Chains A and B, each alone.
Chain A
Amino acid sequence: SAVISQKPSRDICQRGTSLTIQCQVDSQVTMMFWYRQQPGQSLTLIATANQGSEATYESGFVIDKFPISRPNLTFSTLTVSNMSPEDSSIYLCSVCSGSSYNEQFFGPGTRLTVL
């Protein structure tokens, strides 16, 4: 299984600011994803981070709010821009691994609180 790390593990931010979350994987992976988990809720896919091209966003999520970078096959960043208290969530990086890319693992998450 892939080992995934995220930075920061948690943060408390002021309204209107931006935070960039980093995701590092210990091996090269084709597919990386960013999920959001709002308090007490399930996980929702924000976007697929594509290496060498723009991220693919799910309905309800836009690049201006959640810009994503994927400079190589082991690293990605998610920025939460112009934050509001509604952005308070756990943000999780995820990768597909395994011989048929059907095993999916998650990073430890970044717990974000916006005041």
Chain B
Amino acid sequence: AQKVTQAQTEISVVEKEDVTLDCVYETRDTTYYLFWYKQPPSGELVFLIRRNSFDEQNEISGRYSWNFQKSTSSFNFTITASQVVDSAVYFCALKPGTASKLTFGTGTRLQVTL
């Protein structure tokens, strides 16, 4: 069975602060894919990143960075110098290599204020 845990329900930060969103997953598959999506108030789900289980390199894209650690089954997401436009719900998701179904975490609501 697959499981994704996002323990942080809601986080509030002041603009320009750095913030890390945690994601812990469980799977018995050796091949799997991890995703992060952003859902702004408008409701659409915006794809941010996909990482496969064989690639533990951390990734940076502008102000966003991701830390994948298989030893702790975590795939954390850091926003550097947060902005008000980063306010959204962020979902971590897992897909086994043999299946097509995405298992989502419960999401973390990020509120960035001035």
Contact B106 A104 (CB under 8 A): no
* Contact between B105 and A106, CB atoms less than 8 A apart: no
Contact B47 A103 (CB under 8 A): yes
Q: Does A67 contact B (CB under 8 A)?
A: no
What residues of A have a CB within 8 angstroms of the CB of B47 in the complex?
A: 1, 103-106
Q: Does A15 contact B (CB under 8 A)?
A: no
Q: Is the CB of A104 within 8 A of B104?
A: no
Known A92-B45, A96-B100, A105-B47; 15 more pairs at CB < 8 Å: A33-B100, A33-B101, A42-B91, A43-B45, A43-B91, A58-B101, A102-B50, A102-B52, A102-B97, A104-B50, A104-B95, A104-B102, A106-B37, A108-B42, A108-B43
| B residues less than 8 Å from A102 (CB atoms) | 33, 50, 52, 95, 97
For B66-105 the 0/1 string (1 means CB < 8 A from A) is 0000000000000000000000000100010100111011
The range of chain B's interface size is: 20 to 34
Q: Which residues of B contact A43 (CB under 8 A)?
A: 45, 91, 102, 104
What 1/0 flags go to A37-61 for Cβ under 8 Å of B? Answer: 0000111110010000000001000
Q: Which residues of A contact B64 (CB under 8 A)?
A: none
| Count: A-B pairs, CB below 8 Å | 50
Chain A contact residues (Cβ within 8 angstroms of B): what range?
20 to 34
The answer on a CB contact under 8 Å between A104 and B44 is no
> Is B50 a contact of A103 with CB atoms below 8 Å?
yes
B105 close to A42 (CB less than 8 A): yes
**Cβ–Cβ < 8 Å partners of A92 in chain B:** 45
State in angstroms the CA–CA spacing of A92 and B42 once bound together. Answer: 13
Chain B's closest residue to A97 (CB) is B47
A106 near B95 with CB under 8 A, answer no
